Amino acid sequence: QQREGSTEGDSHPHRAQRSSSGHAMMSRAVSGGGLTIDTLPENMTRVVEDSGKYYTWRSFGPKDRRTQDLWVDMNDVRHGQVRVHGILSNSYKQAVRVALSFDFPFYGHYLRQIIIATGGFIFTGDITHRMLTTTQYIAPLMANFDPSYSKDSTVQYLDNGEVFVVQWEKVILPGKESEGAFTFQAALYKTGTITFSYRDIPLSLDVISSAEHPVKVGLSDAFMVMSSQSPDAQQQSIYEYHRVEIDITKITSYSAVEFTPLPTCLQHDSCELCLSSNQTSGCSWCHVLQRCSDGMDRHRQEWLDYGCSEESKDATCEDYSRGDSSTGSSITPEIEEVTFLTPLQKGYVKTDASTKSEGLANTGVIAGIAAALVLLLVLILVALYINYHPTVTSPLYLIQRRKNYWPSWKFQKQQPGYTEVEGEGHEKDSIVEAGPC
């Protein structure tokens, strides 16, 4: 798997460049809301040169028949309906969320929606932030593209239930307009296979400046964890745990790259498969979560909260089985109720002391339910009033506020960040200005 290389005269695989121990992470203080760049502490640095743990890949040159096979002809109606996205085709540094018609496996996780960016990449994260280019991406050719420069530039996609294809067609690089337009695509297959295909690459990618925008070809994934910085604030930190970087000098017109997913710990749904499968290594079984993992995936926060690393040390599937059977046969009805809802709390047992407070707790629950019913009744009455009195000032104000609740923003061209806009309109002719509503 590690020695798979290019079929076009290259006997070595395109390895990812080794990441330094100070690789960047994105962090956000919950109380402040601003994004900053920090460095990973040494003991959390798990970004490694690609070990072939998640994907194997091969590149193909202009003379290889596989290159033509991987290109999806967007003009062929047999592939499905093609949508030319109006906003992306006429915008700069913007992104739009698109739903997939199938579950797409990415690093062992199933995605049902992605974010297409004008800059030649797909963002796969759950949490949208301005620095989409940093982690969690599928990048056939991430660069400073500006589809709004030319009427011929489009960002289009299709989804036929088996494959989702995004094509950046005739897009221009600011400052390199005279060099010509770029046309390339990324295809996400239901099987988890990812392909990058290139039709028009008018200049060598190593001469493209990354001063205003990163230049990348490859894959990346990350996980987010919460850490307390002070008693009053917590910090959300995004850690990139794996990256595949393709050598950009290998990307030319009529070339292609094909990524094949490898089995991951997350696919095992039982303790026996998790610990004994010869398809994966380094897997641990977390009995509380009923999940198999190596601890380095998008569910890492839960893995830490529930103490899965400690629970799985030196534990065997027989230990879990014995624990379940003994618990079921020896406990008395008085201590039968056990919960795992609180992280790091393996369960609690009812005692006489706890039952004494049940009366007060039940009273509080009843009061809360009554308050909720009253609030629901008030909301229903307000909704009916608005419905039957649409011209009154207050209802008009509420409607106007609802309309303006999700404003769209357009960054200046010198801004390094992306903004997500609502995906309205698919026609190139109908240019949608992504400004405040």
Q: What pLDDT, in 10s, does the model give residues 42-67?
A: 434 344 445 678 999 999 999 999 99
pLDDT band at 189 (very low <50, low <70, confident <90, very high): very high
Cα–Cα distances in angstroms (integers) from residue 181 to residues 164, 174, 245, in the given order: 23, 11, 23
DSSP of 6-46: -SSS--S--PPPPPPTT-EEEEEETTT--EEEEE--GGG--
9-13, 329-333, 393-397 — which one is most confidently predicted on average?
A: 393-397
- Give residues with Cβ within 8 angstroms of 113, minimum separation 6: 97, 98, 99, 100
The predicted structure's pLDDT at residue 5 = 36
Question: Does 157 share its domain with 232?
Answer: yes
Structure token digits, residue 399: 């409607």
pLDDT tens digits, one per residue of 404-415: 333 333 333 344
Using the predicted structure, report yes or no on whether residue 338 has a pLDDT greater than 70. no
Q: Would you say residue 393 lies in a domain? A: no
Question: Does 196 share its domain with 280?
Answer: no
pLDDT band at 420 (very low <50, low <70, confident <90, very high): confident
Question: Does 251 share its domain with 284?
Answer: no
Structure token digits, residue 242: 């794996």
The predicted structure's pLDDT at residue 423 = 54
Q: Would you say residue 338 lies in a domain? A: yes
Cα–Cα distances in angstroms (integers) from residue 300 to residues 110, 112, 126, 127, 178, in the given order: 16, 20, 14, 15, 47
Question: Does 251 share its domain with 277?
Answer: no
Cα–Cα dist 110/98, whole Å? 15
Pairing assessment for the beta strands 94-106 and 419-421 based on DSSP bridges: parallel
Q: Would you say residue 278 lies in a domain? A: yes
3-state secondary structure of 196: strand
Q: Would you say residue 302 lies in a domain? A: yes
Using the predicted structure, report yes or no on whether residue 36 has a pLDDT greater than 80. no
Question: Does 31 share its domain with 109?
Answer: yes
- Partnered with residue 165 across adjacent β-strands are 158, 187
The predicted structure's pLDDT at residue 396 = 42
The predicted structure's pLDDT at residue 359 = 56
Using the predicted structure, report yes or no on whether residue 390 has a pLDDT greater than 70. no
The predicted structure's pLDDT at residue 9 = 36
Q: Would you say residue 108 lies in a domain? A: yes
pLDDT tens digits, one per residue of 91-121: 999 999 999 999 999 999 999 999 999 999 9
The predicted structure's pLDDT at residue 24 = 44
Question: Does 256 share its domain with 281?
Answer: no
Domain range for 136 is: 24-262
Mean pLDDT, rounded, of the chain: 75
Contact present, 274 and 265 (Cβ < 8 Å): yes
Q: Would you say residue 315 lies in a domain? A: yes
Q: Would you say residue 374 lies in a domain? A: no
**Four-CA torsion 168, 171, 174, 178, nearest 10 degrees:** 150
Question: Does 320 share its domain with 221?
Answer: no
Question: Does 186 share its domain with 334?
Answer: no
Q: Number of C-alpha atoms within 13 angstroms, CB side, residue 135?
A: 23
pLDDT tens digits, one per residue of 215-257: 999 999 998 888 766 666 677 788 889 999 999 999 999 999 9
Of 243, 262, 281, the position where a domain reaches its end is 262
Q: What is the count of structural domains for the chain?
A: 2
User: Looking at 33-37, 368-372, 386-390, which range is the least confident one?
Assistant: 33-37
